[in-house]
Structures are given as C-alpha cells and as structure tokens.
Structure 1
Amino acid sequence: MKAFRTYEEQVDLLAGRGMVIGDRVKAVATLRRVNYYRLSGYWYPFRQQVSGTRVDDFYPGTKLDDVVALYEFDARLRAATFSVLAPIELALRALLGHELGSVDPCAHLDPDHLGPTARSGNQYHKWLAGYHDELARSREDFVAHHHDRYGGRLPAWAAVEVLDWGGLSYLYGFAPRQVQDAVADACGLRAPQLASWLKALNLVRNTCAHHGRLFNRVHTITPRLPKVGVHADLDAVSTDWSRTFGQLTLVQFLLDRLQLGRTALLPAVFKSYPTTVQAVPIAHTGAHADWQGSSTLWSN
C-alpha cells in the first residue's frame, strides 16, 4: 500500500518528477480542494512516454498552473453540459408521455400496448420493477395525489416524471414504433437514431453527475447519424463522434430542433479552453481548430 503523504509532500513529489510548481502556497491550497488522484487525470497527458508507456516524470516545462487550467475548464464544461441536458430530458419526457398516453393512459404498465422489445426477454420486467421502486421512493405531490385518488396507477404522462434519463431511454425503446417515430420526428431524427443518441447522452449525463473527466473522454457509444444531406448543419461538423465535441454536437442539435434555446452556453465554454496549454490542444476534445465556424450548431 502506498504511504500517506501530506499536501506539502505531494507538492514535493510533483516537483521531483519535473513539474513546475510556482507558488507553493497556492499549490498546497489547490491540493486541499482538489484530490491529488482526481487532478492526476489532468496531468496524465503531460507525463513522458517511453517506449509507448507513460512514466512518472513530466515533459520539460510542465506547469501545475496548466494542469489546473484544464481541470477548471473541464469543471465548467461538465456544469454547462449537465445544465443544457436538463431541458432536453424534460422535453423528451413530455413528448414520450404524451405519445404513449395516446395509445393507452397506462401503456407503460402493459407490454401488450408496447412494442415487441417489451415482450421479449426480461428487460421490460426489470425496467418495471425499477419504475415501481422509483414510485415508492418519490415524495412528489402528484404521486401522492394519484396514490390517493387512483390507487397509485400513474398515467404515462405522469409516470415519465419519476424516471431518470436511463429509465426514459428504456421506455422509449419499449414503446410501439409509431410512438418512437413521433418522438424522433420532433427531434429531426429517425427512431433508431434517437435511441442511440439517448443511450450516448445518458452516459455523458452520468459522467457529469459523477464529476468524471469529460473534456478528453473517448465515449463508448458512437451515435447513429442521419444520412448526409438530411441536416446540413450536422453534416458540416467534422469530428470523431466518440469524442466529447461530437457527443456535445448532439446536444446542440437537439437544443435547436426542440427549440429549447440555450444554444450559446456550450460554445461559450469551448471558447474558454486554455489555449496556452500547448501540450494538450483543444483537439483532445474532438474539436477542430475551426470548430466555431464549421457549423451553425456551434456558431453562437
């Protein structure tokens, strides 16, 4: 097991590995508010590579101030992303609840009113058990009202309000195709495309909610995109769609198509990228040098 080190000893360790510390008092204060191992994820790109392996020593000229600048940018990006995902989630809840309710007020409780995915395997039954757990934990007034008046059977348009993003994504997958199509059409997408976007953005949201490193993450779900020629603003974005800039382009697109506003927030955060950190350029996010001028989705 590694030995315990005081904040001052942690600073000495970094200095011994070649990091330029600068103001030691400021460095100790930084380590008091940001855990050493959390910050280590941001200095990882500054560690020297020897025969393809990262070693402990830093490249010459590595500054703690640059590492902190990346950390603070990432914190702004997480906060902004979480903020703009909220109205998208609420809009999707409203759309899905409305369309499911038009099939049957309690379609979400009866697989016979849902699509074939709800009637194969055990995923729907696991989702339903999770839904009932959320319902039991809820302290919302509308839940208590339906419990008192209707025995706790929430209609679809109310039930969606107790679901988190993951639960909502699963319910969308269980929905009949005509319901999926109606919701996807409002987003400017086809149903399979929206399904993949919901899964991808659920992981982005979870990264933000759990304070994970976002700016240079390689995401595990690559979204399904419309064919070239369907959306010129989406076509104009040149990126690796598994990188954060690509995933956040999905957010910009949905904000625009659902007419939710706030499309200027993420571009404003990207403009604040610490360009003085030459060892880790903005390309690590998946954004090209002309990221702002390439598409109207990012030109705010």
Structure 2
Amino acid sequence: MKPYLDHDALVAGLVATGLSIPDREQAKVQLQKYGYHRLSGYRYLYRVQLPPEQQDPSSRRFRSKEHVPGTSLGDVIDLAEFDVRLRCVLASGIEDFEIRLRTAVAHVIARRSELGHLYVEHLDEKHCLKRPRNSSKTSHEIFLQQVNEATALAHRRNDDFVIHHRQMYGRDLSVWAVVEYLTFGSLIFLLDYLKAEDKRSVANTFGASHPAQFVKWVRAIGTLRNDVAHAVRLFNKPLKNEIAIPPRSCTNTLLTETASHLRVNSTLPESRRPSKRIYSHSAVLSYLLRSHPAGSEWWKEFRDVSSTFPRHSAVPLSPEENMGFPAGWKNDPLWN
C-alpha cells in the first residue's frame, strides 16, 4: 500500500515526473479541492505510454509515471472541470426523465386502481409471483417492503399532501403519491412489474417500441444516475451498462445515426466500445426526452457543454477518441 504523503510531497512528486506546475501553492489548493487520487484518472492519458515489451496487462500497467513533455497540471484540471460540467448537465437531464417516468408509471397503474401497486392482479402476476434465488418471498412481496419503507418516509416527512391524504383516505398512499417517495431502483422494479400493455404504453410515451428494451435503457440511466450523484469520473471510462439499440426499437428516427455508430464499432474490445461510453447513454437519454409528448431542449445543453471539451496540444484527447462520440456528432438530427 502506498504511504501517506502531504500536499507538498505530492506536488514535488508530480513535478519530478515531468508535470509542469508553475505555482506550487495553487497546485496544493487544487489537490485539496479535487484530491490526488481523483486527479490520477484525468492524468492517466498524459503519462508516457510504455513500449509493448514493458507493458503488463495482468497488473494493468501500460504507462510509465513520467508525463508527456508539455503537459501541465492546468491541463489535468481542465479535464476535471469539464467532467464536472458534464455531470451537471446529465443530472439535469436525468432528473427531468425521472419525473416524467414516475408520472407515466403512476398514470397507467392508477387507471386500474389508485392502490394498484399493492395488488398483483393490477400488475403482471407471473412476474410478481416469481421468487428470486435464495429468497422465501415473491418479487412483489420484496417490492412491498420497499413501498412500506417509502410510505413510512412520507409520513415521517409530513408533507402537506401526505397529511391531507392520511386524514381523508388512510395511511396507504395512492400510487401517484407513493412514486414520489420510491427510490429510482424501486421505480424500475415497478415499471418492470407492469402488465404488458401498460409497460408498452409507458415505453411508447418515450418513443420506445419494445418494452423490454425500454426497461434496459432505464436501468442504464439509473446506474448512470448513481454515478453522477457520486461524482464518478465519466471521461475516458467504460460504464457498467452497455447500450444496445436493436432494429425497430424506436418509434422515430432520432437514434438512427447513434445505432449505426454502435453497430459499426461493436467488435472493439468491450472497454473501448462506444456502447459502454458516456455518449451512447446521453444519446438515449436525449432521445427519450425528445420523444416524450412534452418534448425537450435538453439536447442543446448537452451539446453546448460537450463543445467545451478542453483541447491540448501535448496529447490529442477528444470526445470522439475518449468518450465514444461519433465523428460529426453535432450534425446528427438528435442534437439539432
């Protein structure tokens, strides 16, 4: 395990490996702001690549500690700050999508019953009555535990509409109220438990033809939501979920060019595939928002932020090379 080093020693170590740091005091401030470990992820591509015979894939050792001549700490900070802007714009888009999804799911259930989420006859019974591996409870019973936790949270918070609901109708919250307190993960469970025709209705609302594919997209967005909330680095990093856009999975053509881009590059090593990078997830999010009846101009925000990617001459980094963006992506109708 590496030993602890104070900020002076950390800065000295960076200088010793060829990173240009004109102002050491300011460098220490940046280390206090971002952390040495976090900045290592942004420094990685600025380090000199080892000759093939010195590389060790088993320990993931492909680069030396030395930095490419001409690289400065400012270059690294620029990348980190771009990533902050990217996470902020994604957080905005994901929040918008999440609110619309909660509304759509609650609406199709409420048509059957105001408390339809509590009873399997209003959901996909076969799916609800399955027992997960190593569990004595059905999937719906497990989900009800999550509903009970959400309901208890609602009553503890004592929001005005919860007080009114309790006084007028009792402790159980109607589906349009309880979805406001479900975690995003629980909301995905509820989406997946919908009757086939209800799930298709929700999927169609967001421009998705196939409910199963729509649920996969929502799961990918849910994982990205957690990454964004925990300030996970998005630059030059493969994401957990791989995005697929099968033929005839969309009700309009806005994802056509993205689908082609993913298909052409599907034979790359998994970690380098665009389907595992941030562009594919952002494209699907933009598609779902734009295809919704309310429409969306979030695509403009994403395009503008992505256009601020820092360009440095020492190492030719780019969204296309490092984040899965296709060449000429700004000309895609999805971003216009």
Task: Return the TM-score normalized by structure 1.
Answer: 0.93
Tell me, yes or no, if structure 1 residue 282 matches structure 2 residue 319. Answer: yes
Residues 165-174 or 150-159, more deviating: 150-159
Unaligned runs of 5+ in 1: none
Distance of 2:17 and 2:144 partners within structure 1:
53
Q: CA deviation at 1:230?
A: 5.3
Question: What secondary structure, in the 3-state scheme, does the structure 1 residue paired with 2:275 have?
Answer: coil
Residues 270-279 or 108-117, more deviating: 270-279
Question: What secondary structure, in the 3-state scheme, does the structure 2 residue paired with 1:201 have?
Answer: helix
Distance of 1:125 and 1:63 partners within structure 2:
56
Residues 199-208 or 44-53, more deviating: 44-53
Distance of 2:147 and 2:45 partners within structure 1:
42
The residue that corresponds to 1:131 in the other structure is 147
The residue that corresponds to 1:102 in the other structure is 111
Distance of 1:168 and 1:179 partners within structure 2:
14
Q: Deviations over 1:218-240 (max 9, x none)?
A: 12222342416853321112242
Unaligned runs of 5+ in 2: 56-60, 132-137, 263-273
Which letter does structure 2 place at the counterpart of 1:186? T
Which letter does structure 1 place at the counterpart of 2:143? W
Q: Deviations over 1:172-195 (max 9, x none)?
A: 001111110110111111211210
Tell me, yes or no, if structure 1 residue 297 matches structure 2 residue 317. Answer: no
How many residues are aligned here? 298
Distance of 2:164 and 2:3 partners within structure 1:
56
User: For the Cα contact (< 8 Å) 1:17–1:57, is it kept in 2?
Assistant: yes
Q: Deviations over 1:77-117 (max 9, x none)?
A: 00110011111111111111010111222111112321121
Match of 2:298 among 262, 270, 274: 262
The residue that corresponds to 1:244 in the other structure is 278
RMSD value over aligned CA atoms? 1.9
Residues 140-149 or 260-269, more deviating: 140-149
Task: Return the TM-score normalized by structure 2.
Answer: 0.83
User: For the Cα contact (< 8 Å) 2:204–2:251, is it kept in 1?
Assistant: no
Match of 1:231 among 238, 252, 260: 252
The residue that corresponds to 1:154 in the other structure is 173
Distance of 1:207 and 1:59 partners within structure 2:
30
Question: What secondary structure, in the 3-state scheme, does the structure 2 residue paired with 1:276 have?
Answer: coil
The residue that corresponds to 1:71 in the other structure is 80
Distance of 1:175 and 1:203 partners within structure 2:
21
Which letter does structure 1 place at the counterpart of 2:33? R
Q: CA deviation at 1:156?
A: 1.4
Question: What secondary structure, in the 3-state scheme, does the structure 1 residue paired with 2:80 have?
Answer: helix
User: For the Cα contact (< 8 Å) 1:219–1:242, is it kept in 2?
Assistant: yes
User: For the Cα contact (< 8 Å) 2:244–2:275, is it kept in 1?
Assistant: no
Tell me, yes or no, if structure 1 residue 171 matches structure 2 residue 190. Answer: yes
The residue that corresponds to 1:183 in the other structure is 202
Q: Deviations over 1:37-61 (max 9, x none)?
A: 1111111222333333233332333
Q: Deviations over 1:121-161 (max 9, x none)?
A: 13332222122112212313323332333222112122211
The residue that corresponds to 2:25 in the other structure is 25
Question: What secondary structure, in the 3-state scheme, does the structure 2 residue paired with 1:161 have?
Answer: coil
